[in-house]
Amino acid sequence: MSETVPIEAVTAHAFEIPTDGPDGKEQDGTLTWASTTIVVVEVTAGGRTGIGYTYTDAAAAQLISTKLADTVTGADALAPAAAWRTMQVELRNAGKPGIGSMAVSAVDIALWDLKAKLLQQPLYRLLPAFRDEVPIYGSGGFTNYPLSRLTEQVSEWAAAGLPRMKIKTSRDPESDPQRLTAVRAEAGDGVELFTDANGALTRKAALYWADRFAADWGVCWFEEPVSSDDKTGLRLVRDRGPAGLDVAAGEYGFQLPDFAALVDAVDCLQADVTRCGGITGLLQVSGLSEAHQIDLSGHCAPAVSAHAFCAAPHVRHLEYFHTHVRLEAMAFDGTLRPEGGALRPDPGRPGLGLDVKWPDLERYRV
C-alpha cells in the first residue's frame, strides 16, 4: 500500500425511524419522542468504503455535505486524527458543540472504519485496545411503558444473560416505587439495578430519591439525577447520597472541556462516541478519565461503541439501549449480540464489521 491513500468521496444520508413504544412513542424523565433519526456517512478511498453514524437531527447530514465533505476529501485515509483536526477548524464559525460535534463524530467513525478496512483489521485491534470485549447493561424501561411491557423487557434482558439493567425514572416520581418493585421482582436480587432521571429532579428531590432507590430496591447507579448542566447539583447528590449508589453523567458531552467539568462531580463519567467527536474524540475523553482515575461508561450506539470502548482503560460498561439496538439491527448487517453479559467485536470482520441495509432503510430516508 502507498504511503497515503487519498479520500475520494464523503456522502451523508439521514433516516428517520419510528419508535416501537406505546402509542408510537418513547418517554423518559424530560422528553417524549416518536422517532429517532440516524445519520449514516460513507467515506471512500482505495477501493473501500468506511461507514460511520450518529443519532441526531437530519441537519447534521446537510452540515456534513456543505461543510465537512470537501474538507475531508483528498485527505489521507490512513490518518483519521489529522482529518478530525481539520474538521474542527472548519466548524469554528458554524459551531463545534451539538450538531457540529455529532457530524464530526459520524465522519470520524467512518474514517476509522475505512482505515481498518484498508489495513484488513477489525477496528478494535487497530486501536490501543485494552480488552476484546465490553461489559454491557440492558437499558430502556421508558416511563410510558405499562408494567407488562416493562417486566417483559426485563425478562428479555435476563434471558440474554445481562447482569445489569437500567430503567427511566422521575417523569412521575410517585409511580416509580411500583415500577421499581416490579422490575426488581422480575430481575431478581442478583441483578445490578440502575436508574436514569434524565435531569428531571431538583437537587433535594434527587437526594430523597437517591436514598429510597438504594434502600428499597438496591439501586446502585443514578444517572443524571439533576441536569448535567448543574455540576453543583451532581456533586451534591454524589457527596451526600448513600454509599454504593454511583452518580453518573456525561452523555451530552461534545467537546473535551465538557468532560473536564464533570470529573469532579460524578462517580462515573459517561461518553457517547457518536457525540463526542467519534473515535478520535473518545480517545481523548478516555485519557481524561485515566488521568483522573475515574471510570468511563459508554453511552448507547452499541455497534460502534463495542469497538471504541475496548480502547478505554477505565471502562466500566456500555449501555445496550433498546432503541439503538433495534435501529442498528434494522440498519446494518453484522451487529453484535450479547455473550456472557458483554459485547465482543468479531475479530474476523474488518472495520466495524457492518454492512448497511440500504434497501431496508430507503423508506425512512429524509
Tell me the CB-side half-sphere exposure of residue 199, using CA atoms within 13 A.
11
The whole-angstrom separation of Cα 338 and Cα 190 is: 18
Q: What are phi and psi of 142, to 5 degrees?
A: -60, 150
The residue behind cell 473518545 is 282
Q: Collapse the DSSP code of 347 into the 3-class scheme (helix H, G, I; strand E, B; otherwise coil) and give the result.
A: coil
Claim: this prediction has a pTM higher than 0.85: yes
Q: What is the pLDDT of residue 3?
A: 85
The whole-angstrom separation of Cα 223 and Cα 245 is: 10
Q: What is the pLDDT of residue 236?
A: 98
Per-residue tens of pLDDT for the chain, all 366 residues: 558 999 999 999 999 999 999 999 999 999 999 999 999 999 999 999 999 999 999 999 999 999 999 999 999 999 999 999 999 999 999 999 999 999 999 999 999 999 999 999 999 999 999 999 999 999 999 999 999 999 999 999 999 999 999 999 999 999 999 999 999 999 999 999 999 999 999 999 999 999 999 999 999 999 999 999 999 999 999 999 999 999 999 999 999 999 999 999 999 999 999 999 999 999 999 999 999 999 999 999 999 999 999 999 999 999 999 999 999 999 999 999 999 999 999 999 999 999 999 999 999 999
Q: What is the pLDDT of residue 2?
A: 56
Q: What is the CA radius of gyration of the chain?
A: 20
**Residue 325 in contact with residue 301, Cβ under 8 Å?**
no
Alpha helix (H) residue ranges in 119-230: 123-126, 147-159, 176-187, 203-217
> Which residues, 6+ apart, have CB-to-CB distance to 181 below 8 Å?
217
The whole-angstrom separation of Cα 74 and Cα 166 is: 44
334 sits in the region (left: phi over 0; alpha: psi -120 to 50; else beta) called: left
Domains of the chain: 9-121+358-364 (3.30.390.10), 125-356 (3.20.20.120)
The whole-angstrom separation of Cα 93 and Cα 243 is: 45
DSSP E strand boundaries for 29-161:
32-33, 35-45, 48-55, 134-140
DSSP 218: -
